[in-house]
Structure 1
Amino acid sequence: MNNASITHESFDFKNMNCSLHGLNEHCQSSDSLIAVIDGDAQQVVMIECHPVKTNEVSMKNKVQIGCDYQGHDFGAHYLDSQCFDGYLWDMDACDGSGNLYEPMETIPCPKCNSDAWLENYRWLFINDGANHGCTGLPFNKIGRLYINEEIRAKPGAVKKIYRWLKRGYYYGLKNRH
């Protein structure tokens, strides 16, 4: 049954996971089933199936993970960000009914996804160091980004950031003229 297209009459919906293939069709999902529907005839056109692996979870049954992190990550003086599934959502980006919009930028959560947060901001720290190195001022006068307490609490994180700033600083000094 792997990679086989079958019709809905002969399809056993139990313990199967189906993936949608095709453009401009409507789709309908039911538990772990996604069927391609012809919009005009309202009939199942195609289902491509493969057995569910033990570690797969359907999106409908997936529990949102996240921590209790809230911060000032989108520029407001009040708490304007909250963690959902390891990424920060802008709590101000919503419609009139309070429904949140998908984030325009993906910022990893500094509390539960700190490794991704560090990787996301790595080049920003290196660039800040390089910009300061171009001025020729001593390294200890470098302007730094605010590093929140969740990142400061992670062992080795501040040391990494310091190394990235220093790497950028020396690159800026070397290419100053």
Structure 2
Amino acid sequence: MRIIDGRHVKVNAPAAKSRAIQLTTNEAWAAPDVVAGTFLENGMSAHVLFDSGATRSFVSLELSKKFLDAPGTLDSPLEVDIADDCIVSAARVYRDCVLNILGERFHVDLVSIPLRGMKVIVRIDWLGANGAMIDCERQLVRVRTPSGGELVIHGERASHGLTLCSTTRAKGFLQ
């Protein structure tokens, strides 16, 4: 709202720019700069991407439809670049959502956008506020817990299955 000539006039705020990653689960496992895992978000299983390049924390529309609380509205809408030069406008935010990681409860504000599946993207400022350090090479995130301890989150990786070899080949490798 602005006051113009003594009257309150609603002014549409310009949209801020933001970025989110649109990855499949397999792409997230293969990405060198993203740590991913499956955790509880507001009591529901979700694929969580810890992304130091994301400018906001996001939640997929599919997952957000299951939240019990009604969303709020951002002060100004976001234009979010999600993939393949696709830009969507986002204005709904779920404030103070609970991200449960290995029994520790973290709070995060999530902007709902169209992402594939039950997905959450955690942005850099949440990571910084919780003293997190991302080690992409080892696929882990170290984060300070609300109780003051440290939690090490190990990212998931695609399994490549068992590699089998015969006893004869194994003996050859050992010699």
Q: Determine if the TM-score, normalized by the shorter chain, exceeds 0.5.
A: no
| Greater fraction of residues in helix | 1
Higher strand share: 2
Larger RCO (CA under 8 A, 6+ residues apart): 2
Computing the radius of gyration from Cα coordinates, the structure with the larger value is 1
Output the TM-score relative to the length of structure 2.
Answer: 0.28
- After TM superposition, the score normalised by the length of structure 1 is 0.28
